[in-house]
Each structure stands twice: as structure tokens, then as C-alpha cells.
Structure 1
């Protein structure tokens, strides 16, 4: 299996290869690189697609430990992975947490960023009202394991209701270990507010957001799009927090149209 020993980490990644232009996908909290399968399938004929598992997630995670990290560390991981693969410039596509690290990578490593695709994400910290519920959920999960009730709530937040692939993701969530859950959630809740820095991100950006996203209100994504100098906003009707996974057709259409405009 492909792993990159970079930035003090052992990062799992997948790479469609070739000499084409590069897009790298960064997943959300509790997800992994496989959540971008619909996008990779749609783009692999024309783009070199790279996906990776971030700290504390998927095959990158060490079940026994997860050292403290910030999304700036994750941004450095992304930059180091691209350098490891010999990629000088890429489109950074991130969902939720993946968007948090992609935005920070655009601020700290702008020279490697061709464009941004920001899916169901934001530049603000978590909504304090939503954070109270998230903290209670994670506390119950850590103390008693992932019950069917908690799994249903997590699925509602991330995947929406009645999506056919929910059970497979709930099975993955049951493999999460307390050290990884606790640290990844701590990183999420303690991140800084970068909304006042968006004017410095001058590369083209596509903001895609589900209209039924229960984790991040659509208005927050619109505010981010408005503050980015060269961004366009595409709402996904009926899409939830992982709209790229549950509603791939409109997301892929928006992605293809945007990528087609890049030099």
C-alpha cells in the first residue's frame, strides 16, 4: 500500500498517476480518502487525482495514539505529500475539515496552489451553538462506544437521512479509537478564525455547499465565497454535509465546469 513518510508522519495516499494536471482531495472529520471515489472516477481520465488519509483518520491513523496537531500541521502534511510525489502545483479540493486545511495551505504555501475547491466548509470556527451538541455526542461516544443511536446522529449530521451507503460508514466509525477521536475533535474545536485573511487567497476558488448541510450553515459558506477575491458559489439542492458523496452528480458537474476554466 502507498505510504509517504513525510513531515514526521506516515501518510496513506492513493494516486491515479500520469503527467496530467493534479487535484488533491482532503476529507472531512470521521471520513477518509475513499469519500472522493465519485470525483476520482469522474476526473481520472483528464486529471491526476490524489487522495490521502489525514492525521487520526483511515490508514494514516495509529490506533494507539494521536499526538496534538493543528490544521496548519495538516496543511504542511499536504504540501509535503505533494513534494514527495514531485508535484509542484495542484488544485486543492477539501470537504469540511479538508477545506480547513486546504485554506490554511493556500495561506502558508500559496506557491503550490493552482486553485481551491471548498466543499461544505467554512473559514470561521465552529458555531458555538452546534459545538455544544457535538461535544456531548463525542463525550458519549468516548465513554460508551458508538451506540446505534449515536451512529444515527452522526450519520444524520454528515450523510443526511436515508442515504444507501450509510451503514458502511457507520462500520468504519466503529473502528475509530479514543485517542484519535479525542485529538481530531480537539483540533476541530480549537482552530483559529481565518475569515479576515480570505482576501489574501487570490487563486480561483469554487465553493460547493449542500442546502441541507446540518453541520455548517449555507450562509457561512456564502460569506466565505463573498470574501474570497475570485470565488464562485454553487449550492447543491438537497445536499447535506458530505454533498460530494451523497449528491455526486451536481457536485461533479460544478467541479468539471470550474476545472475547465483553469489555465
Structure 2
């Protein structure tokens, strides 16, 4: 893992270096670049893979000033500049998808293709914001009690308790201010749906049909809004489908990239 000063902030990233085509993988809320270990293992055989920790996540677990997902998109673009990469495939899961979409809209000349996992283009629905706000308040007031941990881990990772263990340890280290700023950046994002038609690069939308955060309608809206896109539904998968159903997801990504990058 390497640390570089990107837009005035230390950004941790890993670069496999080899490969003519670069793929930048952007993680979800409260996760970090290690969530893509299964993808890196497979995709590095044919591509140059870059994973990174967004603001307030991973190695950069402390933020003191408010930021937006557009700021994170600027970080992603600046990381490409730092690595002398003119154009890359952007792969994002959940929040990482929100960031990747914004990077593609602001810097389309830098994006070869999009892989959007468990994500969508709209704003947070009010009922979902209420759920998140209640969870955040409980987390701040009571720290990570067993009940809260169960709720967070089930929501993000499904029922796999072994998979959740290392992430729970990481969540317990997040300070309250960073927790709030991360949540605010996600919950207060703007609506990109009207702008999706501007995206001309090929895109793959992957969604698990048991995802409690992203509805089928939202996932389909994302696919329908991008002109050159295709859709994959993973039956039985919850939000972190790229972790819980890695083999299925990896196979689809490889096929998509082979076709999209011809």
C-alpha cells in the first residue's frame, strides 16, 4: 500500500502496475479498499488494478471538514493524474458507484467503461434517510452495541457473521465526527438521474435481488439511463454482492470488459 498527497489529503492506494488497461475500484460506505481482494486476485491477471481508500475511510479515517461525493470524485481523478493514467475503467460498489458516476460525468475523457455494483443515480429516499439517521444516532449515543453491530453488518454484508468480524473491528475505530461527515456526504448527495444520458461509455450494472439499500427500480433506472449499458441480477445476494458472490460477479465483469474494451 502506498500513500500519496492527493488534493491536499493523504490517500492510500494499491497499484498492481502491470496491464495496458487500468481499473480503479472504489469501495462502499464504512468499507475500504480491501473489500475488493477477490476482484483484485482475478482481474490483475489481465488488467492494472488500483484500489484506494476514500476520504474518511481505511487509512484516512479522520476528516474534520465537510465534503461531498463530488470531492471524492475529484480525488479519484487526481489519483489518475498522480499515476499518469490517461484513461481507466471505473468500478464502484454502493458509495463507490456514486463516486464513480460523478467522476465519469465530470471527467468523461478519463473513463473507458463503468462497472456499477449495488448503486444507483438518485438521491436518498426520505424513508431510507430516516432509517440511516436513526442508526447513526444510536451508533453515536451507544457506540457499537451488539444490536447495532448486527443491524449494520446484516444490512451491508448479509448473514455471514465470519465475513463481518474484521469489518466490525474496523467500524469500532471510526471517530464520531468522521462518522457524521461520511454519513452526511452520502445522505445529502444530489440527483444524477437526469444527467445519465450524457454518459457514452459502456456500463455494467450489477444488483443483488435481496439488497435492502438499493431497490430493483433504482438499479433498473440506472441501467436504463446509461445508453450503452447492461444489467446483471444476482439471485440471493444482498448489498455487498461483490464480496458474498465474488465468483459470479467476477465472471460477469471479465466477460463485460472483454466485450467493452474491444
In which range does the TM-score fall when normalised by the shorter chain? over 0.9
Give the gaps of 5 or more residues in structure 1.
Answer: none
Residues 115-148 of structure 1, C-alpha deviations (whole Å, 9 max, x = no match) = 0000000001112112111100011101211111
Aligned residues: 261
Shift of 1:19: 4.0
Separation in 1, partners of 2:103, 2:156 = 24
Deviation at 1:218, TM superposition (A): 2.0
Structure 1 residue 163: Cα displacement: 4.8
After TM superposition, the score normalised by the length of structure 2 is 0.97
Residue 243 of structure 1 corresponds to 241
Distance 2:239 2:46 in 1: 27
1:212 match: 210
Please, which of 109, 124, 127 is the counterpart of residue 126 of structure 1? Answer: 124
Q: Using the alignment, how far apart are the partners of 2:41 and 2:217 within structure 1? A: 30
Of 73, 76, 88 in structure 1, the residue corresponding to residue 74 of structure 2 is 76
Aligned to 2:141: 143
After superposition, the CA RMSD in angstroms is 1.0
Confirm or deny that 1:17 pairs with 2:17.
yes
Task: Name the counterpart of 1:38.
Answer: 38
Q: Deviations over 1:2-55 (max 9, x none)?
A: 111011111000111124210000001010000000100011111000000000
Runs of at least 4 residues off by over 3 Å: none
Q: Distance in 1 between matches of 2:72 and 2:234?
A: 27
Match of 1:197 in 2: 195
3-state DSSP class of the match of 1:20? coil
SS at match of 1:4: strand
1:6 paired residue number: 6
Counterpart position of 1:232: 230
Aligned equivalents of 2:19 and 2:168: distance in 1?
36
State the distance in 1 between where 2:258 and 2:26 align.
21
Q: Give the Å deviation of 1:181.
A: 0.5
The alignment partner of 1:116 has SS state of strand
TM-score by length of 1: 0.97
